[in-house]
Amino acid sequence: MKSKLLFLLLFSIVCLAGCSNYDQDGNTTSEEAKQKYDAAINQVIKSENQYLKQQQINQQLKRNTDETGVIVYEDQDLIEIYYDQSSEGQKAIYQKKGSTYARKTYSKQISRKIDASEKKYLENIGIK
């Protein structure tokens, strides 16, 4: 009786673990997460385009292209965007402030939040 109960418990744990949209590293590319963060990602890309224009950098980011990648650190309210994914690689980090996202400079505090993040939504980052 105990062995059947143990087997049933292990089987249910394995089944529940397989139902998650997240891989073992806490990464997801699921359509559900995409829909959840769609508006926030679009707002961040629009803000970064305005920043680039202010800096007189002649570049416009477009979502869902090979040149623009996104990581949403779901449990830290951070969105990191990567563009010009060449060896030089440009990136920017935005932190949620109220109902919008504000551009931040990389600091030790931001780096710690990134390192502490357990759930990430990835878009065009090369990890599929």
* Residue ranges of domains in the chain: 26-123
* CATH (residue range 26-123): 3.10.450.560
pLDDT for residue 54 is more than 70: yes
Mean residue pLDDT across the chain: 82
pLDDT for residue 40 is more than 60: yes
Q: CA torsion 118→89→102→77, rounded to 10°?
A: -10
pLDDT band at 23 (very low <50, low <70, confident <90, very high): low
Which two tokens mark 1? 């009786």
Reduce the DSSP state of residue 124 to 3 states and report it. coil
pLDDT at 128: 40
pLDDT at 7: 61
For residue 97, give the nearest of 47, 27, 29 by alpha carbon: 47
